[in-house]
Chains A and B, each alone.
Chain A
Amino acid sequence: MVMLVVAFVSFSLFNFVGDPINNMVGEETSDEERDQIREDLGLNDPVHIQFIRFTGNALKGNFGISYQLRRPVSELITERLPATLELVVISAIIALVSGTLLGVYTGINRKGFLSDVILAISLLGVSLPTFVIGILFIYLFAVILGILPSFGRGEVVDLGFWSTGFLTLSGLKAIILPSVTLSLFQMTYIIRLVRAEMMEILQTDYIKFARARGINEKSIHYKHALKNGLIPVITIAGINIGTLIAFSIITETVFQWPGMGFLFIQAVKFVDIPIMSAYLVFIAFVFVMINFIVDILYYFIDPRIRVKSEAVSG
């Protein structure tokens, strides 16, 4: 349902925004040639036929030809997809792991000096735009220290359908700065969330009971408290993967990372509608998938939901 709406929006984009012919040809093209291209692209057909054709093509992964690069959009997307996904996955892992760890730490040691420092940094992190972080990183690590590359993916290994930067040293080096940059903003959110959760949970009766039973603190914190604290984290993490993909547009521009965000921003600049609409459909697809996966994860993590749904079905 959501996908259909998005498909319609991106189709309208495709059809009613600007004159694609104008974007494709130069100033000197004659009217006859323009009409010929229009006919070839099927732009003279009635709107509903065009929409059906658009949806059908989209299902087959065919989004037409980029106005600017004159290549099939699907080809461009599959070419760029691995770069973005690798970046997003690595940043999500960094944000989740370090965000949870720091959040647990600040939640347990509420008065400590280190906790104050972490929280101050996290407030600063909300005010720091992603691109400023990226530039500062580039300046520090690439220009002054010269230890990490500032742009591109390094060497990539082509696995046929997937080109990965994980298998070469330069590829691994290249992903450090962009992924840390991308993860910082999300990390600050997760820190605050986990901290609030931990503080709340540590007040509950079952934790007090566990303490009374003489279970050691470490096991209480990580085995009993953290488990319940993780449920909202998963919800937020699900939404945040979508945000990460959106923010990868910025990171990819700063680091000239050859991913989809970089492609998209070029498309916005040159009004390359096929790429824009394909990107839109892709993002919507990712959102729907993430929601689905998060719902399934709930089922596995929270026994209460499992019991409830079994009671309903049984």
Chain B
Amino acid sequence: MASQRLTLLSRIKDSDIYFSFIKSPTAIVSSVILVIIFFCSFFVEFVAPFNPFDPSSLSLMEAFTPPSWSEKGMTKYILGTDGQGRDMLSTILYGSRISLIVGFSAILFSLLLGVTLGLTAGYFGGKYEMIVMRLTDVQLTVPSILMALLVDGIARGIISRELHDEMAIYVLIFAIGISEWPQFARVSRAATLVEKNKDYVSASTIIGVSNILIMFKHILPNIMRPVLVIGTIGLALAIIAESTLSFLGVGVPPTTPSLGTLIRIGNDFLFSGEWWITFFPAIFLVLLAFSINLLGDWMRDTLNPKLN
């Protein structure tokens, strides 16, 4: 067992990905930031100093406390409090968890949809391929934020108002996911077109392996590299899209605020001088998106030099 683990570790150490990772300071810094953010968001109950959704921990008397380093700040609220006396740091961590969950789920959804369609389109070809590619072309001309807004608007019409708050997060995941899939479809189709003419596919066909098995067991692992690159950059886009929709007030309900919701709420206090309520969630969001983008840039250079 131990030796097996050792070989895996040494295999990772020997790989070109590890080498280029060690050589790239931006990749290291951005992934360290991301690991910290992911860790704090998923174990937020243990990390956050307060639970902003527990009414007993709130005190309205301490609302609008500025950050701890300013004159009126309190050391117990490092980044200050919002209009309801909630600790900003805790609220941001809880909010980033929502943003990350929505972002990951949306990108996973569009990855599954896009790769399935792209893979099958590239493999089977013919009319089916033409239709799928036409669809991606049409959808790529529609800006994704508009698409997501429309899906959200339609969902509001179909789902009754009482149910809507519960469903909002799923609607959001669907809306963002459906607006991002064409990228995955394009990339996986292009990669499949290259792969399907290789010898191992012909060999599998000759010995009678079924089409489904060939596609998902043999071709799929070989097209994952470009898909992962698109997925990383897409994650940043999905997180930004989620916060944008929440900022516009059509995203997650205010009872479970994401980063975008926090920025929108804080925006109302900007003019009265309480800048920290909107500033810190915004900085946090930018840091998150920027780190993912940097990592995505590095992945693109390393995993797939030919991808433009």
Binding site for B on A (CB under 8 A): 13, 17-18, 123-124, 126-132, 135-136, 138-139, 143, 150, 239, 242-243, 246-247, 249-250, 253-254, 264-265, 267-269, 271, 273, 276, 280, 283, 287
Q: Is the CB of A132 within 8 A of B158?
A: no
Q: Is the CB of A129 within 8 A of B153?
A: no
Q: Is the CB of B250 within 8 A of A269?
A: yes
Query: Chain A residues near B145 (CB, 8 Å)?
Result: 246-247, 249-250
User: Quick check: is B56 within 8 A (CB to CB) of the other chain?
Assistant: no
Q: In the complex, A84 Cα to B153 Cα: how many Å? A: 21
User: Quick check: is B293 within 8 A (CB to CB) of the other chain?
Assistant: yes
Instruction: Return A18 CB to nearest CB of chain B, in Å.
Output: 4
Q: Is the CB of A135 within 8 A of B149?
A: no
Instruction: Return A244 CB to nearest CB of chain B, in Å.
Output: 9
Q: Is the CB of A18 within 8 A of B278?
A: no
Query: Chain A residues near B285 (CB, 8 Å)?
Result: 129, 132
Q: In the complex, A287 Cα to B244 Cα: how many Å? A: 23
Return the CB mask of B234-270 against A: 1 if under 8 Å, else 0. Answer: 0010001001100111100000000010010001001
Instruction: Return A45 CB to nearest CB of chain B, in Å.
Output: 21
Query: Chain B residues near A17 (CB, 8 Å)?
Result: 154, 157-158
Instruction: Return B18 CB to nearest CB of chain A, in Å.
Output: 24
Q: List 18 A-B contacts (CB under 8 A).
A: A13-B157, A18-B156, A123-B297, A124-B290, A127-B290, A139-B270, A139-B279, A246-B143, A249-B145, A249-B149, A250-B247, A253-B247, A264-B149, A268-B153, A268-B156, A271-B153, A273-B157, A283-B146
Q: In the complex, A138 Cα to B240 Cα: how many Å? A: 20
Residues 115-163 of B at the A interface (beta carbon under 8 Å): 141, 143, 145-146, 149-150, 152-154, 156-158
Binding site for A on B (CB under 8 A): 141, 143, 145-146, 149-150, 152-154, 156-158, 236, 240, 243-244, 247-250, 260, 263, 267, 270-271, 273, 275, 278-279, 282, 285-286, 289-290, 292-294, 297
Interface SS of chain B: helix, strand, loop or mixed? helix
> Across chains A and B, which 9 residue pairs bring their CB atoms closest together, nearest first?
A17-B157, A18-B157, A246-B143, A268-B153, A127-B290, A246-B146, A127-B289, A243-B143, A129-B240
| Residue from A128, A243, A269 in contact with B249 in the complex, judged by beta carbons closer than 8 Å | A269
Q: Is the CB of A135 within 8 A of B143?
A: no
Query: Chain A residues near B248 (CB, 8 Å)?
Result: 131, 249-250, 253, 265
Q: In the complex, A199 Cα to B85 Cα: how many Å? A: 54
Q: In the complex, A276 Cα to B250 Cα: how many Å? A: 14
Q: In the complex, A17 Cα to B275 Cα: how many Å? A: 40
| Residue from A127, A242, A287 in contact with B236 in the complex, judged by beta carbons closer than 8 Å | A127
Q: Is the CB of A130 within 8 A of B244?
A: yes
Q: Is the CB of A250 within 8 A of B244?
A: yes
Instruction: Return B189 CB to nearest CB of chain A, in Å.
Output: 21
Q: Is the CB of B141 within 8 A of A242?
A: yes
Query: Chain A residues near B250 (CB, 8 Å)?
Result: 265, 268-269
Since A135-B263, A287-B141 are in contact, a sample of 19 more A-B pairs with Cβ atoms closer than 8 Å, ordered by chain A residue number, is: A17-B154, A130-B244, A131-B260, A135-B270, A135-B282, A136-B282, A138-B270, A143-B270, A143-B273, A239-B141, A242-B143, A250-B244, A253-B247, A253-B248, A265-B250, A268-B149, A268-B152, A269-B250, A271-B153
Query: Chain B residues near A150 (CB, 8 Å)?
Result: 271
| Residue from B158, B244, B267 in contact with A135 in the complex, judged by beta carbons closer than 8 Å | B267
Q: Which interface residue of A135, A138, A247 has the most chain B CB atoms within 10 A?
A: A135
Q: Is the CB of B293 within 8 A of A143?
A: no
A139 with B275: in contact, given A129-B240, A130-B244 (CB under 8 Å)? Answer: yes
Q: Is the CB of A132 within 8 A of B293?
A: no
A143 with B271: in contact, given A243-B143, A268-B153 (CB under 8 Å)? Answer: yes
Instruction: Return A135 CB to nearest CB of chain B, in Å.
Output: 6
Q: In the complex, A126 Cα to B260 Cα: how many Å? A: 17
Query: Chain B residues near A280 (CB, 8 Å)?
Result: 150
Instruction: Return B32 CB to nearest CB of chain A, in Å.
Output: 17
Q: Is the CB of B293 within 8 A of A126?
A: yes
B294 (CB) vs chain A CBs: closest residue: A123
Query: Chain B residues near A123 (CB, 8 Å)?
Result: 290, 293-294, 297
Query: Chain A residues near B275 (CB, 8 Å)?
Result: 139, 143
| Residue from A135, A246, A283 in contact with B278 in the complex, judged by beta carbons closer than 8 Å | A135
Query: Chain B residues near A131 (CB, 8 Å)?
Result: 243-244, 247-248, 260, 263
A129 (CB) vs chain B CBs: closest residue: B240
Instruction: Return A239 CB to nearest CB of chain B, in Å.
Output: 7
Q: In the complex, A247 Cα to B248 Cα: how many Å? A: 12
